[in-house]
Structure 1
Amino acid sequence: MKILSDIKLAAMFLRSSLYLDLHRPGPTVLLAGDGRSGTTWLSKVINHDESFRYIFEPFFGEKVPLFEKFTPHPYLRPEEHAPEFERCCRELFQGRIRGLWPDVHNRKRLPTNRRLIKAIRANFCLAWLRRRFPELKIVFLIRNPYAVANSKRRFGWKSSVDHLLDQPRLMEDHLGPHAAMLHKASTPYERYILQWCAINHVALRQLGRDEIFIAFYEDFCTQPETKIPQLFSYLGIPYDQAVLRKTTRPSPTCKKHSAIKTGENLVDSWKKHTSEDELLRAQPILEAFGLDRLYDDAGMPGQDAPQKMQVHLP
């Protein structure tokens, strides 16, 4: 079995790594968001014609040597001087990175655009990246917190919040008022909700709509013919209605119980798998972060939610 596994990995590497990454006209795109928020799915929509070189989770230091020396989910203040991290990011954004992990889903041999980078571990340094690399096109994807928590639980994701508590500057700048809540969280579900709150709180607090494109997973599911052209316009890439077919196809990271494979509703299937007790435990957490108003009672993003949140976030 080990030999077969090694052969499969070698074949995947050969298939994904045979490409030329040249400087081409067009944007380098960073697609960020919480895990299980639909970032892999949306990356397939953006790269529907495979015109980008697709770089998968390069900030995962356990898999990518370029970032192995850095803390997982690093927080950097926007004005912070971090020359080594900046050097590594520059290598990434210029395409000087190769490997089985970052290239595993790349299919383009000669990209006609630059790069599409999908990352769930860069959320706490987006403002820093925006300052250091203003040419980046940053898309920040948000999904209903209950849907994210449910998906993480079903996929067996770690629920630890230690990566938040272990970063003094992150706590000092953004999460200090919620330290007691982070320490006292007694269930994995509560910790999943806290992870979601921390990620979205920091991003929305630091960045405005004029700096990044704030996108909602639910909007792309229910209004793809409107929302996808808006996204493509921001990215400066042509839109073709054929891209709509990609919205009904599962991403490479989907499992057999994902809603898109089981035929469940993509927006509210989480309701069938979330108890009343879990909802009651989550609500005070969302309220404490001021994020309870981001979604309405139907579980959909509110009208102009990001702009309102950036005004009222504590």
Structure 2
Amino acid sequence: METRYTSEFLALKKPILVTGANRSGTTWVGNILARSPHIKYIPEIFNPSSGLLRGHPATRFWFHHITEDPEELYRPMLNKIIKGKYPFINIFRFMDAKKRFSYKGVRSRFKLFLNSYINHEGRYRFLIKDPIALFSTEWLSKEFNIDILITIRHPAAFVYSIKRVNWRFDVDNFLKQRTLMEDYLYPFESKLRKIKEKKMDIIEEASTLWTCFYHVVNLYRENHPEWIFKKHEDLSLNPIDEFQQICMRLNIPFSINLQKAIKEFCSSNNPTEAPEKIIHQLKRNSRENISIWKKRLSQNEIHRIRNIVDRYSANFYSPAEW
């Protein structure tokens, strides 16, 4: 069975994009799937601070909305990256999006540079894990024939995760993208301007950002039944079955390595929560982790979150899931 899947899998050679909102489990999902011996993992190419494309016009904004490329600004470089051909200058570009000298991400980019020499025989499919690509997903799918997997996370869990690491967001990254606002985010413009004017606390801000992300994801779900949409909670509760379904949809062999990785990343022996100041703790007690927000957020905070997101979260979560 695995041999047949392996030959079909490699014959396809379609890249895979794992995306969704930040803090929605894309790193966790991407790292598990990357345990397949036939997958090469590429992290956050659109990250303006540390991605392969930093300093490139594609990373002018966080969550850049690319819809067309008449001047061929994006397509040539992305085509190389998706095929595992990483130009030296991109691997070792030391200037970030704000033209500041930075060593951030050099180790992971060096690994990618080495991988670019390994892949020329077409032995691998590339998996791009990039929540920052979310608003460009339709264009990427159309231009590069990419398989799409989008993760969805409960709004209260998302807000708690943002609060825990105290991430504030410069909403000019949305407001200054005219096409993004016109295509998708016009219902949220007044709220985004309140964030810009610092009239929202982190609970309101993160809740508003969730509505922006998952309003778009819901539109994707309506327009692209061929894409895969997975709730973080379903993956956490039933990881073996859910990841097996993903592998079948993506034609990835459900190998022993993958099954071991799932058990390793989701074990009840793992900590439920990441230590303080640790952004990513990939190996968690996945079953317990999904409800940690109920213990860490106050009832007032949960009520406020629900009031902001309810119109949009109802597309994904029932009242019983609150």
TM range (shorter): 0.7 to 0.9
Task: Give the structure 1 partner of residue 66 of structure 2.
Answer: 76
Q: Supply the AA of the counterpart residue of 2:207.
A: I
CA distance in 2: counterparts of 1:91 and 1:133, whole angstroms: 11
Structure 1 residues 259-308: Cα deviation after superposition (integer angstroms, max 9, x where no partner): 955788121111111122222222232135x33341123438xxxxxxxx
Contact 1:140–1:213 (CA under 8 A) maintained in structure 2: yes
Q: Which moved more, 1:38-47 or 1:196-205?
A: 196-205
Q: How does 1:16-55 map to 2 (within 5 A)?
A: 25=11, 26-55=13-42
Q: 1:263 to 1:56 in 2, by over 3 A?
A: closer
Which of 275, 278, 283 matches 1:256? 275
Match of 1:202 in 2: 216
Letter in 1 for 2:186: G
Aligned to 1:312: none
Task: Give structure 1 stretches of 5+ with no counterpart.
Answer: 1-23, 301-314
Cα deviation, 1:155-191, whole Å, max 9, x if unaligned, reads 2322333322221221122211221222235111211
Q: Secondary structure at the match of 2:209?
A: helix
Tell whether 2:145 aligns with 1:155. Answer: no
Q: Tell me how far apart the structure 2 counterparts of residues 140 and 263 of structure 1 sit (CA, whole Å).
A: 18
| Partner residue of 1:120 out of 103, 128, 131 | 131
- The answer to whether residue 245 in structure 2 is matched with residue 230 in structure 1 is yes
Q: In the TM superposition, what is the alpha-carbon distance from 1:249 to its structure 2 partner?
A: 3.7
Contact 2:218 2:315 in 1 (8 A): no
Residues 126 and 203, structure 1, Cα contact 8 Å, conserved in 2: no
Report the number of matched residues: 272
* Counterpart in the other structure of 2:205: 191
80-89 or 51-60, which moves further after superposition? 80-89
Partner of residue 284 from structure 1, selected from 295, 299, 307: 307
- Matched to 1:86, the amino acid is R
1:138 pairs, out of 148, 157, 161, with 148
3-state DSSP class of the match of 1:122? helix
Cα distance, 1:200 vs structure 2: 1.9
Any stretches of 5+ residues in structure 2 without a counterpart? 1-9, 93-105, 267-272
Counterpart of 1:21? none
CA deviation after TM superposition for structure 1 residue 210, in Å = 3.0
Determine the structure 1 residue equivalent to 2:79.
90
SS in 2 for 1:214: strand
**SS at 1:31 equivalent:** strand
What is the TM-score of this pair, normalised by structure 1?
0.76
From the superposition, tell whether residues 47 and 268 of structure 1 become closer, same or farther in structure 2 (CA, over 3 Å): same
Are the counterparts in 2 of residues 220 and 228 from structure 1 also a CA contact under 8 Å?
yes
1:268 to 1:113, Cα distance in 2 relative to 1, 3 A: same
Q: How far apart are 1:50 and its partner, in Å?
A: 3.7
Bigger drift between 97-106 and 176-185 goes to 97-106
Deviation at 1:104, TM superposition (A): 6.8
State the 1:59 CA deviation. Answer: 0.8
Higher mean displacement: 277-286 or 212-221: 277-286
1:84 CA drift (Å): 0.6
Counterpart amino acid of residue 295 in structure 1: Y
In the alignment, is the contact (CA less than 8 A) between 1:33 and 1:123 conserved in 2? yes
